[in-house]
Structure 1
């Protein structure tokens, strides 16, 4: 079984038309290569896989000579393995009368690969690919997607046991091979311990001093570990929103493991065991946040919390409107007094209570109940 991903394919094709370089960025095993090969079928193309020793050696030694010989679409898979290619791509992209287009695939963010950020400014379009989302698998598969996560091989596994085993192997390979391939010299056992700690803190505000103390490292080192996992698309740091209010506000990010299936594997929760676990609410919150961000496609998203206890799980600025989201692992939505306070303090246009039920309801002025399964088709 395969799942077609037309929205991402359309994004990629538009970007290739409009930019000399298009980058598909996302975690390993999320389907970047599969999509690139689908695009390659419709045009003249050449693929270089930098995890293939032959291709790696070829582009490590004489990259300019090799790439200048190519025509049409040139696909460079796992480009972060040779960061020196980024300045060269700028030169090739600026060549007069060139008909070449580049499609680069990477499992580490441009911020993590320092040379990429500056080299291709103004010449590159970014596509942020994720694992499967609710609009792709169908809303009837919501709980399966939440339990297994969106990595294709995990979601499409024939049963829960094989899905869980795939995720365990993914985590091990990521720690023992991928991190060193990205150029970081961190013992796998150290990063595994840190990642496990993050799983237990999923949905909580980052406390660098506490992590440093538990790990026996400095705060800057703990933050470095966090940034590496963020830059490889394993962790989302949800930044706080700052209003010019009299209330004291939390100023550290909230930490989420981006794929719910990976979170469940780290917590040793196979199949539906998450339903009885203490982190069930936090897991659901992180899962829904990922679905909302995919649907809204805004870069302006935050959480908000004051030291006096007022908080909002997610605020997204979209089309000059402030949309608030409160996420509950509940089948019956309820309006609380604090929701009205949040609307007033943040001047929200709408507040959505996203829950596990089935009805879309207006609960109060500017407060709406939204079933999680309705996220893909909702017009925000």
Structure 2
């Protein structure tokens, strides 16, 4: 069992709210995490027909017979549960830590929770395994292996490239053939596979729905809807641009990333590390991997910071800004053994335009050194080993 960083947050929220919802993509380890964190709680899996019938037959009666706290897994499959939960909670509103809801289809579950349990529920977003969680654990794989394999536990733990490929095939098939219909989404498997593959090749690019719509022979509104589904299922990240009124023309479209590097490599047909070494998408893959790791590190340790990127209409760009009010921390991601100042002109421009004293270049090396003008290179592994080393207050 690999300890998860989210355990402290789960217990903290259970002391504040009667209900806590744990969101996350399928197979991210939600069930294992919650069962390990709450070993004495009753567990109901609503994906199992027997459990669902037992609950739905008379929800009010089922809840009235509870003699302790309970976990409902795949809670979005029993929408009638939520209205009953509100009354159940309100009969003893002061009592905290009573119910945990788990769900993969976040947008549907989030809607159900928001409509019925507002003010009564706390949220934990559980993502696949972070590098920091693996480093120093019993697994302790290298950062390059974590980058290649992704963060889903089944993919991380499997040393066979062939078996890992088959696992991703099964994962995608389950999502398309079972999860999407359960959400009421009507899209063919061929269309979703094509969209995913195109997104993989556009990984880290400015979002252009019309371009993808033309390739898929659908309208841009449909493409936007499909991508919204993937985003709400924690599989895609839309990184928003940062702009203030500085009199400079700035890009206002988001950039799109596949959040899990292993899933990205699957759709790029990069089935083994040596293929990644020669892939034309290698730099974009590294950029997305590091961005996701940094964002999650800040979310867990400095949650007041929010992620953006910065880009001018003329093409000057910084890969990631972590922003908390007037505190702005710029990161440029480079897949180079020894980045130089000439490689980070966009970072210099950003620092000048936003009046920033410090900027950072994250790279896969081992040494921290200065490039001058407030720019520091940071080895990715060292940056992510200790959250206390993250820049910012």
| TM score, norm. by length of structure 1 | 0.94
Give 1:158 deviation, angstroms.
3.2
Select which of 134, 137, 141 maps to 2:134: 137
Secondary structure of 2:341's counterpart equals: coil
Alpha-carbon distance in structure 1 between the residues aligned to 2:108 and 2:377: 37
The more displaced of 152-161 and 281-290 is 152-161
Give 1:318 deviation, angstroms.
3.8
- Deviating above 4 A after TM superposition, structure 1's stretches of 4 or more consecutive aligned residues are 97-100, 110-113
Say whether residues 1:67 and 2:75 are aligned partners.
no
Alpha-carbon distance in structure 1 between the residues aligned to 2:61 and 2:245: 55
Give 1:40 deviation, angstroms.
2.6
Give 1:349 deviation, angstroms.
4.7
| Paired position in structure 2 for 1:287 | 289
Alpha-carbon distance in structure 2 between the residues aligned to 1:186 and 1:262: 20
Please list, as runs of the form range in 1=range in 2, the aligned pairs for 1:73-92 lying within 5 A after superposition. 73-92=69-88
From the superposition, tell whether residues 206 and 220 of structure 1 become closer, same or farther in structure 2 (CA, over 3 Å).
same
Say whether residues 1:343 and 2:341 are aligned partners.
no
Please list, as runs of the form range in 1=range in 2, the aligned pairs for 1:74-223 lying within 5 A after superposition. 74-96=70-92, 98=95, 101-110=98-107, 113-138=110-135, 141-223=142-224
Give 1:113 deviation, angstroms.
4.4
| Paired position in structure 2 for 1:31 | 29
| TM score, norm. by length of structure 2 | 0.91
The more displaced of 111-120 and 178-187 is 111-120
Q: CA RMSD in A?
A: 1.8
Select which of 320, 329, 339 maps to 1:323: 329
Does structure 2 retain, via aligned residues, the 8 Å contact 1:72–1:100?
no
Does structure 1 retain, via aligned residues, the 8 Å contact 2:76–2:108?
no
From the superposition, tell whether residues 60 and 252 of structure 1 become closer, same or farther in structure 2 (CA, over 3 Å).
farther
Alpha-carbon distance in structure 2 between the residues aligned to 1:88 and 1:335: 60
Does structure 1 retain, via aligned residues, the 8 Å contact 2:330–2:347?
no
Does structure 2 retain, via aligned residues, the 8 Å contact 1:48–1:75?
yes
Alpha-carbon distance in structure 2 between the residues aligned to 1:93 and 1:327: 47
1:333-371 CA-partner distances (Å, limit 9, x unpaired): 212333221101123353110001111122223211011
The more displaced of 203-212 and 290-299 is 290-299
Give 1:140 deviation, angstroms.
5.7
Alpha-carbon distance in structure 1 between the residues aligned to 2:199 and 2:370: 36
1:253-308 CA-partner distances (Å, limit 9, x unpaired): 11000000000011111121112111101111110011101111135211111111
Give 1:93 deviation, angstroms.
2.0
Does structure 1 retain, via aligned residues, the 8 Å contact 2:15–2:96?
no
Does structure 2 retain, via aligned residues, the 8 Å contact 1:304–1:311?
yes
Alpha-carbon distance in structure 1 between the residues aligned to 2:119 and 2:9: 18
Secondary structure of 1:225's counterpart equals: helix
Secondary structure of 2:6's counterpart equals: helix
Alpha-carbon distance in structure 2 between the residues aligned to 1:78 and 1:34: 13
From the superposition, tell whether residues 111 and 329 of structure 1 become closer, same or farther in structure 2 (CA, over 3 Å).
farther
Give 1:328 deviation, angstroms.
0.7
| Paired position in structure 2 for 1:369 | 377
Secondary structure of 1:339's counterpart equals: helix
Does structure 2 retain, via aligned residues, the 8 Å contact 1:87–1:116?
no
Any gaps of 5 or more consecutive residues in structure 2? Answer: none
From the superposition, tell whether residues 311 and 58 of structure 1 become closer, same or farther in structure 2 (CA, over 3 Å).
same
1:225-272 CA-partner distances (Å, limit 9, x unpaired): 000011111101111112112222211111000000000011111121
Alpha-carbon distance in structure 2 between the residues aligned to 1:320 and 1:70: 48
| Paired position in structure 2 for 1:353 | 361
The more displaced of 195-204 and 135-144 is 135-144
From the superposition, tell whether residues 133 and 322 of structure 1 become closer, same or farther in structure 2 (CA, over 3 Å).
same
From the superposition, tell whether residues 90 and 361 of structure 1 become closer, same or farther in structure 2 (CA, over 3 Å).
farther
| Paired position in structure 2 for 1:379 | 390
Secondary structure of 1:323's counterpart equals: strand
Does structure 2 retain, via aligned residues, the 8 Å contact 1:49–1:76?
yes
Secondary structure of 1:322's counterpart equals: strand
1:144-167 CA-partner distances (Å, limit 9, x unpaired): 100000000110013222222211
Say whether residues 1:303 and 2:309 are aligned partners.
yes
